[in-house]
């Protein structure tokens, strides 16, 4: 069967500043944390020398061209642009991002720019990070500076990438700095992130720029083990906590009433100001980026909650390991292609069918050198992964979902936070010693698909 996509469909990939640039300038929480606890990072590899995009941006953009990208998302590093988060702008950073943006446009690759991809300037973390409303204001200023500097040539902006991840990693599950486990503080961080998002949207609207502004959310459809009301309720709470805590404010301009009621009943609500509601209502977006990697399967709890234990989302559900689920064993994530369709249908039916696109989807695999044939990684598994997700995406579009594109994570193997270079995601293999870039089979497959705006599959 031939799967053809609408005209002007966005084909491309995503990356982020800290994971690719290398040549660190402006300290982030990652630099600080790595200096103190290198053992937290796979093989002790930190963020200093990631995939050298800072030096090789021009030839890397050539490679994007070879992959037939018509669009590409990366982020601006707040700490590179404004090293202390709030003060002077670094002119070298302005030059660098100007060059990258201009070259992308020159090559007819539409730049999609994220303002915050997990990389908090350390100076901002030192005053409390997202727990402090002053940091919300500093971020709003940073956003406004970016719009003023680059808004004439960047027409697709994203305030945050996966804002729930720093909440989970930094304040619940101990996989990002500052390694706190405290739900109320996590809720405050999430809430202030939504306020920061809304302030950036407000600034963008006030500037009457020509483009559009959105956010990138990692949506994990929550599937109950069974239709038993207890399992269904468990899935509902997981959905409220991990999806709707950001989805509802950015698309509906308000929080789900049952999420607010639930947190209130456990005394976990962040401190709110009366004017916050108006601000959140102004944070409604033009375009939603959807990162989809895995579903969330849950069941009701098998055991009673220990009332002395810290309050956690897991007070309301257990994870459910569905027998026979397909796994990516390297990352430990389930692969469930219909999830992409379920997300789109949910947006169509319950959120007014917003303009959206898949902003990340991908498969990290360890030790890909074992698949080298004639000097090239033959990653057939990745081609299958992509084409199966695309088939479900295609079904969604044919049923009226407003999905405008598909971006892969990622173009060149890059540094994956605490996993460093363990799992490789790229269309292009990166030799860490020589920095040599070699297109994988999946890169060739994607280039052909983008060129034809279609692909064939049985
Ligand atoms: C997303 C992030 C990316 C990227 C990707 C792969 O959550 O937006 O930054 O890293 O996941 O995940 P990981 O690197 O954790 O394997």
Q: CATH for 2-456, among 3.40.190.10, 3.90.950.10, 3.20.20.80, 3.40.50.1000?
A: 3.20.20.80
For residue 377, pLDDT over 90 is answered with: yes
CA atoms within 13 A on the CB side of 455: 21
pLDDT band at 212 (very low <50, low <70, confident <90, very high): very high
Model confidence band, residue 23 (pLDDT cutoffs 50, 70, 90): confident
pLDDT, mean of residues 87-102:
98
User: Which residue lies with its CA nearest to atom 14 of ligand 1?
Assistant: 416
CB-CB contact of 102 with 62 (8 Å) = no
Nearest to 71 by CA among 404, 362, 445, 429: 404
Look at residue 216 in the predicted model and tell me its pLDDT: 99
Atom of ligand 1 nearest to the CA of 409: 5
Q: How far is the CA of 291 from the centre of ligand 1 (A)?
A: 9
Query: pTM score, two decimals?
Result: 0.98
Q: What is the pLDDT of residue 398?
A: 98
The residues spanned by each domain of the chain are 2-456
Cβ within 8 Å of residue 215, ≥6 positions away: 158, 159, 160, 163, 197, 246, 250, 285, 288, 289
pLDDT at position 458: 85
pLDDT at 358 over 90: yes
| Ligand 1 center–CA 221 separation, angstroms | 17
Asked whether residue 383 carries a pLDDT value surpassing 90, the answer given is: yes
Catalytic residue positions, numbered: 162, 360
What percentage of the chain carries pLDDT values higher than 70?
Answer: 100
Residue whose Cα lies nearest atom 15 of ligand 1: it is 416
Looking at residue 24, what is its pLDDT? 84
Helices (H), ranges, 174-299: 183-206, 229-239, 245-252, 257-265, 276-281
Task: Please give the pLDDT value at position 49.
Answer: 87
DSSP H stretches of helix in 88-219: 91-106, 122-126, 133-150, 164-171, 183-206
What is the pLDDT, as a whole number, of residue 374? 97
Average pLDDT for the chain: 98
Nearest to 113 by CA among 63, 147, 154: 154
pLDDT digits (tens, 9 = 90+) for 390-442: 999 999 999 999 999 999 999 999 999 999 999 999 999 999 999 999 999 99
Q: Locate 455 and state its tokens.
A: 């692909």
| Cβ proximity of 384 and 317 under 8 Å | no
Atom of ligand 1 nearest to the CA of 425: 6
In this prediction, residue 241 carries a pLDDT of 98
Residue 253 has pLDDT above 90, yes or no: yes
Distance 416 CA to ligand 1 centre (A): 6
Ligand 1, pocket residues at CB < 6 Å: 16, 19, 161-162, 165, 218, 291, 331, 360, 364, 409, 416-417, 419, 423
Q: How far is the CA of 358 from the centre of ligand 1 (A)?
A: 14
- pLDDT tens per residue across span 293-349: 999 999 999 999 999 999 999 999 999 999 999 999 999 999 999 999 999 999 999
Among 18, 412, 416, which is best to mutate for testing ligand 1, by the most ligand atoms less than 8 A from CB?
Answer: 416
Long-range pairs for 124-131: beta carbons < 8 A, 24 or more residues apart? 124/78, 124/85, 124/86, 125/29, 125/32, 125/177, 125/178, 129/29, 129/170, 129/178, 129/189, 130/166, 130/188, 130/189, 130/192, 130/193, 130/196, 131/185, 131/188, 131/189, 131/192
pLDDT score for 416: 98
The fraction of the chain above a pLDDT of 90, given in percent, is: 99
φ, ψ (nearest 5 deg) of residue 362? 175, 175
């Amino acid at each position: 069967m031939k799967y053809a996509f609408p005209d002007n469909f966005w084909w491309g990939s995503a990356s982020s500043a800290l994971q690719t640039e290398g040549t660190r300038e402006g300290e982030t929480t990652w630099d600080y944390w790595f200096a103190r606890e290198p053992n937290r990072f796979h093989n002790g590899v930190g963020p200093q020398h990631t995939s050298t995009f800072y030096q090789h941006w021009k030839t890397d953009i050539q490679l994007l061209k070879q992959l037939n990208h018509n669009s590409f998302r990366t982020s601006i590093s707040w700490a590179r642009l404004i090293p202390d988060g709030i003060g002077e702008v670094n002119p070298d950073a302005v030059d660098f991002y100007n060059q990258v943006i201009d070259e992308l446009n020159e090559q007819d690759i539409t730049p999609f720019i994220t303002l915050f991809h997990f990389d908090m300037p350390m100076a901002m973390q030192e005053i409390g990070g997202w727990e402090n409303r002053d940091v919300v204001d500093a971020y709003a200023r940073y956003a406004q500076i970016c719009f003023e500097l680059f808004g004439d040539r960047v027409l697709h902006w994203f305030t945050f990438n996966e804002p729930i991840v720093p909440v989970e990693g930094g304040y619940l599950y101990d996989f990002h700095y500052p390694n706190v486990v405290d739900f109320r503080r996590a809720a405050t961080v999430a809430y202030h992130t939504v306020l920061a998002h809304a302030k950036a949207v407000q600034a963008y609207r006030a500037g009457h720029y020509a483009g559009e502004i959105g956010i990138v959310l990692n949506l994990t459809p929550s599937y109950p083990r069974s239709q038993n009301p207890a399992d269904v309720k468990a899935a509902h709470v997981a959905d409220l906590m991990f999806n709707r805590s950001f989805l509802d404010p950015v698309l509906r301009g308000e929080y789900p009433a049952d999420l607010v009621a639930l947190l209130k009943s456990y005394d976990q609500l962040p401190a709110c100001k009366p004017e916050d509601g108006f601000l959140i209502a102004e944070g409604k977006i033009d375009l939603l980026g959807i990162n989809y990697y895995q579903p969330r399967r849950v069941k009701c709890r098998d055991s009673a909650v220990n009332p002395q234990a810290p309050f956690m989302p897991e007070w309301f559900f257990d994870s459910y390991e569905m027998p026979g689920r397909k796994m990516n064993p390297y990352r430990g994530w389930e692969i469930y292609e219909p999830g992409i369709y379920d997300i789109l249908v949910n947006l169509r039916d319950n959120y007014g069918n917003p303009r959206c696109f898949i902003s990340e989807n991908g498969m990290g695999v360890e030790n890909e050198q074992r698949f080298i044939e004639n000097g090239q990684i033959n990653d057939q598994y990745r081609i299958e992964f992509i084409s199966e997700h695309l088939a479900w995406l295609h079904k969604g579009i044919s049923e009226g979902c407003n999905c405008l594109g598909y971006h892969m994570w990622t173009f060149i193997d890059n540094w994956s936070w605490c996993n460093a270079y363990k799992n490789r995601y790229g269309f292009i293999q990166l030799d860490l010693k020589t920095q040599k870039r070699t297109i994988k089979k999946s890169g060739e497959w994607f280039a052909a698909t983008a060129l034809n705006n279609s692909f064939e599959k049985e």
